[in-house]
Chains A and B, each alone.
Chain A
Amino acid sequence: MKETRGSWAKTADGVQLAEPHDERELQEVLHVLADRGARLNVDLKLSRAKLRELGEVHQHSMSIGVGAGVVLRELDAHLTPHGLSLGPLTPAAMALPLGEFLEGPYAGLRSIPGGRLEPISASLRALLSDGHKLETSPAPRSAAGPDLNALVLGAHGRLALVTHAVIRCVPYPERDVRVACFSFPGAQAFVAAMQRALAEGFWPWRVHADAQSGRVRAEIRWAASVGSVERDRELLNRCVDGVGGRGAGDAEQDAPVSVELEATWDAVKDALDRGARLQLFRLSLATVVARGDVEGLPLNEPTAWTSLGSRLLPLDTRGVFGGAP
């Protein structure tokens, strides 16, 4: 392919790199690829690092419009003076640009109170393969047809390319981060206590769990608002008491492996039964993100889609989105 305009360059290994400054330039990239029968990630690499828009912070809805190239850790720092934060994301996720967090294996998900997962994005702007724009509504929930955000979230950029998103924030928690340590009579008891607490509204940001001699020691961190410190602690105590657990000293904080995996609670229980030491993030009733020796879906790089997901590939009508689904 031939270099055109300032937004195109060559990488060190000689592969063409497109680095559009805005949506219009990205549209042009897609048109050029389609015209030449070429594909992203195969014939051309794409960087969205220059899509770095940081919009106005909306204090009422705790949201901000952000370009796909903004790195989450930088965004979080930008939010701090506004009294806001991105909430309980994992360490590896914080190092990602927004676009990769939304499109990649993390699928843009964050845990929210009630044990549920929710996309961090209230709405998205993305480009379809034919250059058409997809722009979704920032309403908190909808019944206006299918949720087209799903064409972006976790789709590895194979169906659409996100350029901008309205991000949901949470109140900045630092001064009220709480830590409690407990000892549980076994992995099943630990899992049962955590699930009950999640279902009742407890919102942990991270948990370190360490299995030793049949017991599980856990250090639980959560971000309490000023008014919620006692009600959270009391709930947690009841959930721990209910499974025969008790207070304990500090647990080890390091896990031996740094790759993050999405794992079910069954997998967490099995790992602890085997004596594993785990760091748990993004805790929901469905799954957690874990570091340690646990079975789960690796989140550090895209893995093969389910066959059902592959049914959507014809949405790339011009065949410009490459890479293994």
Chain B
Amino acid sequence: MRSAAEISLTQLPSFPTGALPPPRARVLELKSELFAAAGGRGSIDDLDRLSYARDMWPLALLWVRQGRSPPPPDAVVWPGTEDDVANVIALARKRRFAVIPFGAGSGVCGGTWALGGGVTLDLKRFDSIGEVDAVHRSVEVGAGVMGESLERRLNARGWTLGHFPSSISTSTVGGWLAARSAGQFSSKYGKIEDMLLSARAVLGTGERLTTPERPFSGPDLAPLLLGSEGTLCAFTGAKLRVFPLPAGRVFHAFEFGSVEQGLEAIRLIFRDGLRPAVVRLYDPFDTAFVGKNKPGQKKPVTPPSLRGLLQTQVLPSLLRGVTRQTLGRPGLMNQLQRAFRRSRLILMFEGDAARAEAEDRSATAICRQLGADDLGDGPGKAWLQKRYDVSFRMSRLLESGSFADTMEIAAPWESVHTIYERVHEAASKFAFVLCHFSHAYADGCSLYFSFVGSGDSEADMESRYHQLWRAALSAAVSAGGNVSHHHGVGLLKARALQDSLGDGRHALRSLKQIFDPDGVMNPGKLGL
């Protein structure tokens, strides 16, 4: 099997959604054996295969608009036990087919594409949520548990995981582990690897394992399996740290004269030992758009009789016309951005009520020293209300005939502003660029770029999309950023990961050889 590092992203195979290739003969002839191995539940129906053919990688969303699909898996199975998972992997090793672990399909990097066919292993039947161990502040959950279900269950018992990715309603615990997910409150609660006490998984060798909790002697296997995106193992469950529901929550927003001042405020806040749950600094153009709707403010009501017409015909055609003219010339739009200077910071502290207020007072003093305008608690509250909306606005842009994507990387403080400027410059030729800074740490933070572009034709747009990614990621890494902070690698960043590892790629390949000696686990992802 070819590694993704050798596969050109511009030559990825696709098929008409109405004419999928049939399942490969070697999987078809195994159908009964395969389904039995998986505990009796499986499918080779085209509709199921089509459903599992893609994740939410915007490249695939462009293809959907054109009636195309990435290659479908040959079959989908729904194992219910670790034995089922091990049996499917054992069969895959014996009969040489790929196994692709699948959570809820909300990844954005092509991490679950069945490039060469194979069997998709949907783990959503691992849906158990144990009782909270209040003494040890932990809970055991199955890998297939959806994020929102878990958080609601915990909340009902007075606890929170503190993990709020924007995909919370469409992602699973197993997916979080596989891609080293981060949530919107990560600055206080950490990323998923910080919440993990122990992981359960089935390796590509078929072995079942539970990583040990501290203390233990020797290397920690958990960090080597987390982020492996199905290439080494399939996660089946986890023991996670939980926290009491916060007794208090304080919002505060500030506006700075420049991005640099806002970044300096965040750095000083973390240097001072403060740990806001939410830290979001918007670049000037993003600042011009965020927080305009006050909480509780009603939108103008459109009469129901007009809604259908507006939403299905008038708005899309207007948007198509406008976006082709504007986003097709992103350089002009990006030039326009230079007219904006001010940068908005949203902070949210939570936990012990008096502590949250005390931390807010300290952060306020830092922001004021840097000359920030105090915007009060309104923008933060508005953000909290609408925090999951932005992910779903992408579909509107796609419907309008454009493309949109996001790139998230992390870097030490010394490199953050340089990366911001260089990525902006590199990407500006191909797309309209926005950025916000979040997921802050004492030594650095994450930069989250949003790109919106268009083209003269679907082919032109796809070409621009690939050029954009090459230019933007290369600029980020050469300026001192890493390849990903929390979206993962998949196919999209496989080459960049391998390049950034340098000689270290040998270590990654050795891990692959140890945990998946026959190369059946999710081939092609991470460049493996």
Contact = CB atoms under 8 A, between A and B. Distances in A.
Contacts of B445: 140
Contact of B355 (A128, A146, A200, A308): A200
A145 B228 contact: yes
B275 interface: yes
Interface stretch (A42-50, A66-74, A246-254, A298-306): A298-306
A203 B272 CA distance: 12
Contacts of B168: none
Interface in B354-402: 354-355, 358-359, 362, 365
B444 A146 contact: no
Interface in A179-208: 195, 199-201, 203
B485 A142 contact: yes
Given A134-B504, A147-B227, A228-B272, A142 B180 contact: yes
What bracket does the count of chain A residues touching chain B fall in? 35 or more
B410 interface: yes
Given A63-B443, A306-B216, A132 B482 contact: no
A153 B362 CA distance: 35
B190 interface: yes
A60 B413 contact: yes
Interface string A256-267: 000000111100
Nearest to B482: A139
Contacts of B275: 113-114, 201
B217 interface: yes
A193 to B, nearest CB: 13
A286 interface: yes
A201 B355 contact: yes
Contact of A62 (B443, B486, B501, B502): B443
A271 to B, nearest CB: 14
Contacts of A96: none
Nearest to A228: B273
Nearest to A134: B504
Interface string A86-120: 00000000000000000001010000111011000
B493 interface: yes
A122 interface: yes
A82 interface: no
Nearest to B197: A286
Given A135-B504, A227-B362, A143 B272 contact: no
A148 B218 CA distance: 14
A151 B443 contact: no
A22 B378 CA distance: 56
B489 interface: yes
Contact of A143 (B181, B352, B506, B508): B181
B223 A149 contact: yes
Contacts of A156: 218
Q: Among B190, B221, B355, B358, find the residue whose CB has the most chain A CB atoms closer than 10 A.
A: B355
A7 interface: no
Given A155-B219, A234-B358, A130 B508 contact: no
A87 to B, nearest CB: 10
B484 A315 contact: no
Given A114-B189, A227-B362, A61 B412 contact: yes
Given A201-B275, A231-B362, A141 B410 contact: yes
A262 B215 contact: yes
A262 B218 CA distance: 13
Interface in B334-360: 351-352, 354-355, 358-359
B441 A140 contact: yes
B224 A230 contact: no
Contacts of B228: 145-146
B223 A143 contact: no
Contacts of B137: 195, 199, 285
Given A62-B442, A133-B502, A135-B502, A306 B212 contact: yes
A265 B241 CA distance: 14
B507 A132 contact: yes
Given A140-B441, A144-B489, A145-B227, A325 B218 contact: yes
Contact of B487 (A143, A238, A265, A303): A143
Nearest to A63: B443
Given A143-B179, A234-B358, A154 B412 contact: no
A136 interface: yes
B443 A132 contact: no
B481 A139 contact: yes
B232 interface: yes
23 contacts: A61-B444, A113-B273, A132-B507, A137-B483, A138-B443, A142-B227, A144-B482, A144-B484, A146-B228, A148-B508, A150-B219, A155-B219, A156-B218, A171-B271, A199-B243, A228-B362, A234-B354, A262-B214, A262-B215, A297-B215, A306-B216, A309-B217, A325-B218
Given A133-B502, A141-B182, 16 more contacts: A60-B413, A61-B443, A62-B443, A138-B412, A139-B444, A139-B481, A139-B485, A144-B227, A146-B224, A150-B220, A150-B222, A160-B507, A200-B355, A285-B137, A305-B219, A306-B217
Which 7 pairs of residues, A with B, have the shortest CB-CB distance?
A305-B218, A309-B218, A231-B358, A262-B215, A139-B482, A147-B223, A60-B413
